[in-house]
C-alpha cells in the first residue's frame, strides 16, 4: 500500500491550487511541495472531511483562512480507516446504525400507539389546556366554514329568543367559553360541537326530538365536548400524525398536505368511544348542576330507540358514529343512580318549544 499520495493544496488566501505529495506519518501528515518546501501537519491540528463517498478526502486546517488538502485517491480513505482516523461524513459503524434503528423503531411504535389509540388521551389532554380559548374559537370557526361553506342558517325572532333562553338556562355562568349555536337547515339527524364553543344543530334532529328536555340532553352532551376540548385534542393528534407522515415523505408531500388538510378537519369531529362516554356522563352532571333532571339525555336516547323511522332513515348520522345506544343508556342510568336526586326544573315552556321547532319555517329546503 502506498504511503504517499498526490494531492491538491489550497492555502485559503487565493483559489490557486498547488500540487503536493502527501505522506502519511504515525501522528500526522507531511506535505511536500514542488518547490521543495515541506509542511508538517499534526493529527490534532486538522480535521478530516469526506462529504461524498465517491468524493475526495479533505484535510482542513485552521478556521479562517482555512488551508485545505484534497486527496482524490480512495486508497487514502481506506488507510485512514485502518488507522482509526475518522471525521465528518465517515460512515457510522453497523453497531451504531443498529442501535439507532432499533431505538427509532421503539420510539416510532410508541408514538404511533399514542397517536392511534384514542382511548388514552392523557398526553393530549395535558397539552390542550395551554391552548387559549381565542385560538380554539378561531379553529372552530375555520373548521365550520370549511365543512359547511354554503350552510343555510335558520332564524326567526321568536325562535332565536327561545333558543337564547334555552342556552342561558343550560350553560353555567362561569363557563369560559362563549357558546354560539347555529341551526342549519338539513334533513340530517345530527348535532356537532366545534372547538371554542361553536355548536351546530341540524333541523332534522330538532324535528325528531319529542321534547325540549331531550334537546337539552343532546346539547348538554355537545357542550361537554367543548368544555373537555375533545375536538382540540383530536386536532393535536392529527397534527402529530401528519407531521410524522411529512417526515416520512421527506418534506416532498405537497400532495399529501392537501390530502391531510381535509382529513384534519374531519378528524376534529371524530370522537372516540371514551370521549363520547365522557361527554355523556359530563352532560348528566351539567344538567344536575343547572337544576335539571339528569335523565334528559336518557330521554333523548329512548326517544330515538323507539323511533324506528329515524333509525331506519337514510341519514341516522348522529348515532352511526357513536357507541352502542343501549350501552350509553345503561352507563347513564348507572351514573344517575349514584348521584343525588336531580332537579325537576322545566327548561322551556310549550309555547317557546313550539317557536323553536318552527325556527326553520322561513328557510327554503336546500
Residues at the interface with other proteins (CB under 8 A): 8, 10-17, 51-56, 58, 64-68, 70, 88-89, 92, 100-101, 103-104, 107-108, 111, 132-135, 137, 178, 243-244, 247-250, 252-253, 255
Distance CA 299, CA 296 (A): 5
Residue 2 vs 110, nearer CB to other proteins: 110
Minimum CB–partner distance for residue 85 and other proteins (Å): 19
Write b or e for each residue in 303-328: b if 16 or more Cβ atoms lie within 10 A of its Cβ, otherwise e. bbeebeebeeeeebbbbeebbeeeeb
Is residue 71 within a helix (H) or strand (E), and if so which, with residue range?
Answer: strand 67-71
- CA pseudo-torsion sign 262, 265, 268, 271: negative
Cis ω for the linkage preceding 65 (within 30 of 0): yes
Cell of 313: 332513515
Minimum distance between the CB of residue 166 and other proteins, rounded to whole angstroms?
A: 18
* Cβ-based nearer residue to other proteins, 12 or 343: 12
- Measured from the CB atom, the residue of 177 and 353 that comes closer to other proteins is 177
* Grid cell at residue 175: 363557563
Instruction: Identify which of residues 3 and 92 has a Cβ nearer to other proteins in the complex.
Output: 92
Q: Kind of pairing, strands 46-49 and 191-194? A: unpaired
How near is the Cβ of 10 to other proteins at its closest, in Å?
A: 4
Report, in Å, the least distance between residue 324 CB and other proteins: 37
Q: Which is nearer to other proteins, 249 or 263 (CB)?
A: 249
For residue 364, give the C-alpha cell.
327554503
Residues β-bridged to residue 60: 47, 68
- Which of 56, 121 has the CB closer to other proteins? 56
Q: Quick one: which of 158, 149, 150, 144 has its CA closest to 361?
A: 158
Cell of residue 11, nine digits: 492555502
CB of 108 to other proteins, least distance (A): 6
| Minimum distance of other proteins from residue 8's CB (angstroms) | 8
Cell of 139: 379553529
Backbone phi, then psi, for 154, in 5-degree steps? Answer: -85, 140
Cβ proximity to other proteins, 85 vs 102, nearer residue: 102
CB of 162 to other proteins, least distance (A): 17
User: Of 277, 183, 267, which Cα lies nearest the Cα of 225?
Assistant: 277
Residue identified by cell 365543512 is 147
Among residues 27 and 52, whose Cβ is nearest to other proteins?
52
The distance of closest approach from Cβ of residue 217 to other proteins in the complex, given in angstroms and rounded to an integer, is 29
Amino acid at each position: 500500500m502506498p504511503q504517499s499520495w498526490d494531492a491538491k493544496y489550497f492555502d485559503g488566501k487565493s483559489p490557486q491550487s498547488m500540487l503536493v505529495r502527501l505522506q502519511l506519518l504515525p501522528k500526522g501528515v507531511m506535505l511536500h511541495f514542488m518547490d521543495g518546501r515541506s509542511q508538517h501537519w499534526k493529527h490534532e491540528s486538522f480535521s478530516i472531511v469526506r462529504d461524498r463517498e465517491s468524493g475526495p478526502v479533505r484535510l482542513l486546517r485552521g478556521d479562517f483562512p482555512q488551508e485545505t488538502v484534497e486527496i482524490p485517491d480512495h486508497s487514502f480513505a481506506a488507510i485512514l480507516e485502518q488507522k482509526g482516523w475518522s471525521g465528518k461524513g465517515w460512515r457510522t459503524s453497523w453497531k451504531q446504525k443498529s442501535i439507532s434503528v432499533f431505538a427509532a423503531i421503539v420510539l416510532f411504535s410508541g408514538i404511533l400507539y399514542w397517536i392511534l389509540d384514542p382511548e388514552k388521551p392523557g398526553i393530549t389532554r395535558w397539552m390542550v389546556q395551554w391552548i387559549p380559548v381565542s385560538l380554539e374559537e378561531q379553529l372552530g370557526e375555520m373548521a365550520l366554514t370549511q365543512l359547511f361553506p354554503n350552510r343555510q342558517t335558520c332564524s326567526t325572532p321568536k325562535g332565536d329568543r327561545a333558543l337564547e333562553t334555552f342556552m342561558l338556562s343550560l350553560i353555567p355562568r362561569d363557563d369560559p367559553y362563549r357558546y354560539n349555536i347555529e341551526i342549519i337547515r338539513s334533513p340530517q339527524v345530527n348535532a356537532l360541537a366545534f372547538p371554542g364553543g361553536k355548536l351546530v344543530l341540524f333541523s332534522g334532529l330538532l324535528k325528531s326530538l319529542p321534547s325540549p328536555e331531550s334537546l337539552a340532553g343532546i346539547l348538554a352532551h355537545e357542550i361537554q365536548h367543548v368544555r373537555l376540548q375533545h375536538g382540540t385534542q383530536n386536532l393535536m393528534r392529527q397534527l402529530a400524525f401528519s407531521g410524522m407522515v411529512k417526515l416520512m415523505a421527506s418534506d416532498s408531500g405537497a400532495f399529501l398536505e392537501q390530502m391531510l388538510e381535509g382529513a384534519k378537519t374531519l378528524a376534529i369531529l371524530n370522537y372516540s368511544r371514551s370521549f363520547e362516554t365522557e361527554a355523556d356522563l359530563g352532560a348528566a352532571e351539567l344538567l344536575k348542576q343547572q337544576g335539571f333532571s339528569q335523565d334528559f339525555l336518557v330521554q333523548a336516547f329512548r326517544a330515538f330507540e323507539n323511533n324506528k323511522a329515524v333509525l331506519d332513515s337514510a341519514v341516522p348520522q348522529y348515532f352511526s358514529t357513536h357507541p352502542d345506544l343501549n350501552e350509553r343508556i345503561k352507563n347513564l342510568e348507572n351514573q344517575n343512580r349514584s348521584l343525588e336526586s336531580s332537579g325537576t326544573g322545566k327548561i322551556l315552556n310549550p309555547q317557546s318549544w313550539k317557536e323553536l321547532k318552527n325556527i326553520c319555517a322561513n328557510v327554503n329546503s336546500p
